[in-house]
A and B are shown apart, each in its own frame.
Chain A
Amino acid sequence: MITIIDYDTGNTRNVKNALDFLGVPNQLSADPNEILMADGLILPGVGAFKKAMDSLNERGLAPVIQQAADAGIPILGICLGMQILFDTSYEFGESTGLGLIAGEVVPIPEDLGVKVPHMGWDQNRSRKVDPLGDGFDEQFSYFVHSYYVKTTSESIVSTVDYGVQIPSIVRKDNVIGFQFHPEKSGAVGLNGLSKFKEMVENADYSRN
């Protein structure tokens, strides 16, 4: 069972629609037990970083997600859900994220002649071999964001070129992030969710 973490953010319903369409067993939940007992977790997110972290903290979920990550449960963060996997964001002042991957969230520079938000279909380039990223090389996926992640090259699976190189897929062990919306990226996006499902099925971890 994949648990989609339900914490009052925008795109939860569409993520569920995509998993249902793929026939992947899933549930929406904010219950710590259902999160810790899940085979895999999806952390969606739309909106502002601080509000999303506040929303997780109000439900006591930040330490639960950190515990799930430590236990090796595969976690997929989508869009803002990916950004809050990192240490710090500078959106509306400095806020602290989940700290599951080292890095920070900074504004997309507007002085490069690009429109912000970065909204639309952009082309992924693989930066390393990874089963989660391979299906995306050269493929377009759908992005909507004004901030992007700065992280070390070890964590970057693929990028898109938008004046700066924006990490589109990140990964540290069992923790994965898609900056784009796989649930809005047609067949390519659905394929990414299927790959995550495979990863969940093959995950090797023990619960204490």
Chain B
Amino acid sequence: MSAISLQDLDISYGTAKVVEGVSFDVAEGESFALVGESGSGKSTVLKAIAGLAPDWTGGISVLGQPRGHRPDRGFARRCQMVFQDPYGSLHPRKTVDTVLSEPLQVHGLGNRDARVEEMLGAVGLDRRFRFRYPHQLSGGQRQRVAIARALMLEPKVMLLDEPTSALDVSVQAEILNLLKRLRAEQGLTYLMVTHNLPVVGFMCDRMAVMNRGRVVEIAPAAALHDGSFSDPYSRALYAASGGTAHD
């Protein structure tokens, strides 16, 4: 059974069709990347899976269960999303404790105190951060809180939308290590959107290259080592990033 399966997915915003005919499968425990420029529709695919872009046709199923177009409680327990900007994705007037307890409250789960404490430990935050507000945290700490929030319901599938692009390189390394460790510890499946190919090389097993709303190629991460992409667009993207890779 695949963790995420997309069949012939079309997504529109109003009259504009932004994603067309996207199909791929992500195996359980796999880390899969969606790469491409802004406007290529990669984030939109994540949004559609998460239910934030409800105007789609085709098939989306997560862990074998097809997803409908409406908000779905059970779905939230299986699949969660981490957003790009930790400065924008946390409520400015809620403490870390409130942010982390809320999903438990919504789903009527008990033992909240212990769970919050445990999750803070898992993402490498000290207990003293528990009653702070987002403005009292650095960007890296905020992203840790956002990751903790996504993990509170113990989902098996995580949708990561450029989780480190708003962070410094040194902090990016910490967050990438954290994500990698969590995946190993909790057996998570990642679907990650990024435009940074070296990050794909570090985090992912396979990638889909998107351009103008279509998947032009699905390649193994090993293709980053030798540049063995078949599609001209993927090769151009590789070349544009190749200059920034430092080896």
Pair from one complex: no
